[in-house]
Structures are given as C-alpha cells and as structure tokens.
Amino acid sequence: MTTEAKPSSRERLLAAAATLTYRDGVGIGIDALCKAAGVSKKSLYQLFESKDALLAASLEEGAGAYVAGLLPSADDERSPRERILHVFEQVELQAGAPGFQGCRYLAVQIELKDQSHPASQVARRIKQNLTTFFRTEAERGGAGEPDLLARQLILVFDGASARAGIGADNLKGLVAPTVATLLDAGGMRRPRRPAG
C-alpha cells in the first residue's frame, strides 16, 4: 500500500496563491491565502519574505505549465507558421474551458501597475519569452519585419485572452483567421504541401 506524500506548506501556499489570485485578483488577503493553504501566517512568513514574494514565486512555479500549454514542443517539425498558429489554437481551446479568465501573466501586470513589483517582473519576463518565440518563428518563416510581427502577434494574443477572459467574445473561428491574415501580411511563408 502506497500513500501519497501530503504537499508541503510551501507547495500548498503556492497552489493557493495561483488559484486565488487568478480567480479573485492579486489583492487577495493574507488571511484568505493562509486559510486556503491550511497554514498559519507565521508559516507563510517563514517560507516567504512577503505576500509579494509568494505571488512572484507562484507565477514562477506556474510558468512551465503555462508554456507547455501554449507552445509546441521543441522537436515539433511543423513550419514556423503552423507553430505560431498552434499557440492561438491553444488559446482558443483554453478560452472555452470553464473558469478561464484570460492570461494570468497579463492580468498580474495590469492589476499591479508597478513594473518594479517582483510578480510584475516575473510576468513581464514570461510574456517577453512568448514574444521572443513569435519573433524567432517569424524570422524562420521569412517574415519581412519579424520584430514588428512578433509585437503584433502578442497584441492579438493579449487582446484575445483578455476579451475571452471577461466573456466579451468567443474566440472560436475568430483568432486563427485573424492571425493567418497577419502572418500573410507579414510575409510568413505558407508550408508547401506535397503534390498528389
């Protein structure tokens, strides 16, 4: 008989911070975080310097899953154009899931407004990595201005995530054609299909 190890106080705090701040915003109080995690305030402050540090660590902890849920794997052999479109297909799928409230990393930056906040710095880095992915694929795909195209793609990504997150739009059938038009305008090559 095997028993699963109970998550540590640190793990429970990170999970509570991820869940509650996504659902209720970064203004969630320490008491609510501690109650959800089943830990005392003393434990929280022994593990994290502050609530801000907990929030930053929670965002960092979730970055791997965020990236894995959006980006194609490194060994994915699709064309750069298809790899970019994959990201937007994932956003469309995620937006249709219950409880979707947009991009967690964008939301943190908007709520905090303070670019020097530790959580804002983590969020900005994660979002910059996504922009870098777009730029790299745009370069590989022959875009005329890969930097501009990457900025345009992150703009569509953030806008689509935000509108779906507040329930203002259904992304199905909207995002992929929009991105395809942008890729065409940017000079991204369409993959060649074998004849026959």
Residue 154 covered by a domain: yes
Give mean pLDDT, residues 20-36. 93
Give mean pLDDT, residues 9-31. 93
User: Does 3 score more than 70 pLDDT?
Assistant: no
Residue 191 covered by a domain: no
* Residues 99 and 180 grouped into a single domain: yes
* Residues 102 and 166 grouped into a single domain: yes
Confidence at 169, pLDDT banded by 50, 70, 90: confident
* Residues 176 and 95 grouped into a single domain: yes
* Residues 77 and 152 grouped into a single domain: yes
Token couple for 49: 């310097």
Residue 2 covered by a domain: no
pLDDT in tens, 32-52: 999 999 999 999 999 999 999
Residue 29 covered by a domain: yes
User: Are residues 119 and 108 in contact, defined by beta-carbon separation less than 8 angstroms?
Assistant: yes
pLDDT in tens, 129-142: 999 999 999 999 99
* Residues 68 and 160 grouped into a single domain: yes
DSSP secondary structure letters along 72-111: PPTT--S-HHHHHHHHHHHHHHHHTSTT--S-HHHHHHHH
* Residues 104 and 180 grouped into a single domain: yes
* Residues 107 and 151 grouped into a single domain: yes
Give the residue numbers spanning the domain of 33.
Answer: 7-48
The number of domains in the chain is 2
- Among 71, 116, 99, 78, smallest CA distance to 165 is for 99
Confidence at 72, pLDDT banded by 50, 70, 90: very high
Give mean pLDDT, residues 17-23. 94
User: Does 5 score more than 80 pLDDT?
Assistant: no
